Amino acid sequence: MKEPKLQTLKFKKIPYKGKSPQIESIFIAPNCFLIGDVILKEGTSIWFGTTCRGDTSTCEVGEGSAVHEHCFVESSIIGTNTLLSHGVIAHKCQIGNNVIVGIGARVIDGAKIGDNTLIGAGALILPNTQIPPNSIVVGKGKIIRKTQEEDLVYIRESVHKVKEKAKILNDALKQRTS
């Protein structure tokens, strides 16, 4: 089943050096900024107060992923079915598929997060750090254990819940603007 496309909302879509955001989202909050070479794949949601910048290189959010309130994502590649929780900073990094990055975490400058990984709230992933797939990470990039099946279920359920909320909010905003 194909997910509904975003209708006309009043978020800020700003071209930069001839590049404009490409959008296939189910929800983009009206007070977001999408700047330059930003690619939002099908089924993504970008929540209130978030900025996605593609002014130095591409900023891509993969299919089914969500970037929650007050995040800042610059020149980063975010995988599919990945959740950036409230206040995350993703700066010039790569975050894999089926990942949850906890509230207020920082993933910066060349860091790479492997698939099926949980990054704890407030964690700091330092420049050029490589987090292997199936990791649980807290604090200053400390891997505490491998993910287990119940962790992967938690990731899938969390992403699904966010998609459902995004659809409801998108419909509510469309009704309000029509």
Residue 34 has pLDDT above 90, yes or no: yes
Confidence of residue 6 (pLDDT cuts 50, 70, 90): very low
**Is 3 among the domain residues?**
no
Output the pLDDT for position 60: 98
Q: CA 50, CA 30: separation in Å to the nearest integer?
A: 10
Quick one: average pLDDT of 100-108?
A: 98
**Is 2 among the domain residues?**
no
- pLDDT of 8-31, one tens digit each? 456 788 888 889 899 888 899 999
3-state secondary structure 69-133: CCCEEECCEECCCCEECCCCEEECCEECCCCEECCCCEEECCCEECCCCEECCCCEECCCCEECC
Q: CA 92, CA 98: separation in Å to the nearest integer?
A: 19
**Is 1 among the domain residues?**
no
Output the average pLDDT for the chain: 92
Quick one: average pLDDT of 71-93?
A: 99
**Is 16 among the domain residues?**
yes
Report the domain count for the chain.
1
**Is 78 among the domain residues?**
yes
Output the domain CATH number for residue 19.
Answer: 2.160.10.10
The CA distances from residue 5 to 20, 28, 134, 135, in Å, are 18, 11, 32, 33
Say which residue, 59 or 175, is predicted with more confidence.
59
Q: Which two tokens stand for residue 11?
A: 């978020």
Residue range(s) defining the domain that contains residue 88: 12-177
Query: What's the pTM value of the predicted model, to 2 decimals?
Result: 0.90
**Is 108 among the domain residues?**
yes
**Is 95 among the domain residues?**
yes
Of 15, 18, 9, 59, residue with least CA distance to 39: 59
**Is 144 among the domain residues?**
yes
Output the pLDDT for position 8: 46
